[in-house]
Amino acid sequence: MPTLTLSQLVAGRELAAEAMRKLGPVEGTHVVVDARPLVSGSTSFAGQLVRSALLDGRAAELTILGGPAEFLADVKIAAEQLQVTDHVAFAPTDADLGVHS
């Protein structure tokens, strides 16, 4: 399961795309974004994360683990705009996804 762990502060579409590219090919996989360390993430970063994982990378599913409410709202809005809401899930901070904190 490709997992992207966010730092405390993230911003920028290009940097979101770059972070996703570093995961390698994700087509057909379940991508987990560990947003538990995140303190502040920009709207653009959240939007690009959804685009890069599900549209560009063709991942089957994207799960956001933890993260600040505003960031999650931005992910949700981007998913709605890109019509991929069925492929995006939100897991609480203590969810057991096999991701080490």
Partner 1 sequence: MPRRVPDRLLARLLPEQADGVRRVSFAGMRWVPPAAMVAAAAQAHRAHDEGVPFVLVGPTDEEPAHYAARMRLGRVLAELGATHDLPAVREHDRQEDLIEVIRLDSVHAVDRLARMVYRKVRPRGAELAAALHRSVAEVGENVMDHSGTIGYLAAQTLPRRRELLIAIADSGVGVLATLAHRGAQSHEDAIGLATREWVSRYDQPDRGRGLPSALRLIGREQGSLYIASGTAGIRHFPSTRRYSAVDDAYQGTIVEARIPLGPAAAHPQSPPGDAAAR
User: Taking a C-beta distance cutoff of 8 angstroms, is the pair 17, 52 a contact?
Assistant: yes
Residue 87 neighbours by CB distance under 10 Å:
19
37 binds partner 1 (CB under 8 A): no
**Residues paired with 61 in a beta bridge:** 30
Of residues 13 and 36, the one with the C-beta less far from partner 1: 13
Region 67-96 residues binding partner 1, contact defined as CB under 8 A: 68, 74, 77-78, 81-82
User: Taking a C-beta distance cutoff of 8 angstroms, is the pair 66, 39 a contact?
Assistant: no
Of residues 82 and 99, the one with the C-beta less far from partner 1: 82
- Would you state the structure tokens that stand for residue 88, as one six-digit string? 């995006």
Q: Which of 45, 52, 53, 63 binds partner 1 (CB under 8 A)?
A: 45
Instruction: Enumerate binding residues for partner 1 (CB under 8 A).
Output: 9, 11-15, 39-45, 47, 50-51, 68, 74, 77-78, 81-82
